[in-house]
Amino acid sequence: MKELIKRTTYGFLFVVLIVGSILLSKYAFALLMLFVSLVGSYEMLNLQLQHKLKPALSLPVMLSNLLFYAILGLVALNLIAVKFLVLTILPILLPFLHALFSKSFTFSEISVAYWPSLLLVSLPASLLIFMYNHSFIGEMAGAQLIISILVMVWINDVFAYLVGVSIGRHRLFERISPKKSWEGSIGGLVFTVVAAVLYSYFTDFITLEIAISLAVIIVLFGSLGDLIESMIKRQAKVKDSGKIIPGHGGVLDRFDATFYAVPFVFIYLILIQ
């Protein structure tokens, strides 16, 4: 009971912090996502190379993620021109140069340290900031879109768990996550789609077609993101990616579904413009 109260309390504070920063201003949310990106990148690095985590590797990886997020974030906020997106090539190519001069790590170790955190943490964190940008997203851009995306992720997480615990019998991916079930996954999808339909019906913000499409994309790829993080943690032989959120684990434990779903949401929103 004590653990449930702790988990509920910090889960509520987590939602308040995220939604509050979104409503406060795009700059407040961008700063929060910068923090999330840096902590998440460190957690990813720690999961990948637990036994070899040294400043000689962790510092350049963190700086690389900072540069990558900063470039994308500044473009998203219209603080620098779109042409500066070409600079994101630098942190992507940096592992090759790092490996060339490294005497302590192989290229495989260095690339594993750089690319997963760049692609699975910093990229989606920055793409969330692009959801404010009308030039990329169109008239839907803004705080309401970001909150809608996050709420769909949370609804899927909650109801997939509740349905799975209640009636889950058939394992979804037992090798990676023994507790997840097909019933839970279907339940999460159904409740998320229903919520999206109701939202489109009672507001003028989003059409029914887009609402259902976003719900399906978020559930499908968010669930894959959850499984991918479970795979990484299983291989690292740890339960949580970190301990920053009491009762919930690390940043990656809370953002795994969001971070994997957001790039596909972004692609969809760009294509329908």
What's the Cα-to-Cα distance from 270 to each of 1, 18, 73, 257, 263, rounded to whole Å? 45, 24, 17, 20, 11
- Whose tokens are 């637990």? That residue is 50
Digitized pLDDT (tens) for each residue of the chain, 273 residues in all: 666 677 788 888 889 999 999 999 999 999 999 999 999 998 888 887 765 666 778 888 899 999 999 999 999 999 999 999 999 999 999 999 999 998 888 898 888 889 999 999 999 999 999 999 999 999 999 999 999 999 999 999 999 989 988 887 878 877 787 788 888 899 999 999 999 999 999 998 899 999 999 999 999 999 999 999 988 888 888 887 878 877 678 899 999 999 999 999 999 999 998
**What pLDDT does residue 245 have?**
79
**What pLDDT does residue 126 have?**
97
**What pLDDT does residue 6 have?**
76
Bridge partners, residue 173, by sequence: 177
**What pLDDT does residue 265 have?**
97
Whole-model pTM above 0.95?
A: no
**What pLDDT does residue 53 have?**
62
Distance of CA 165 to the CA centre of its chain: 24
- Cα-trace Rg, the chain: 19
Confirm if 247 and 143 have CB atoms less than 8 A apart. Answer: no
What's the Cα-to-Cα distance from 248 to each of 11, 139, 184, 188, 251, rounded to whole Å? 8, 35, 20, 20, 9
**What pLDDT does residue 248 have?**
75
Q: State the Cα–Cα distance between residues 92 and 245, nearest whole angstrom.
A: 30
- The total number of structural domains in the chain stands at 1
**What pLDDT does residue 201 have?**
92
**Residues belonging to the chain:** 273
**What pLDDT does residue 10 have?**
82
**What pLDDT does residue 52 have?**
60
> Residue 29 belongs to what domain range?
2-271
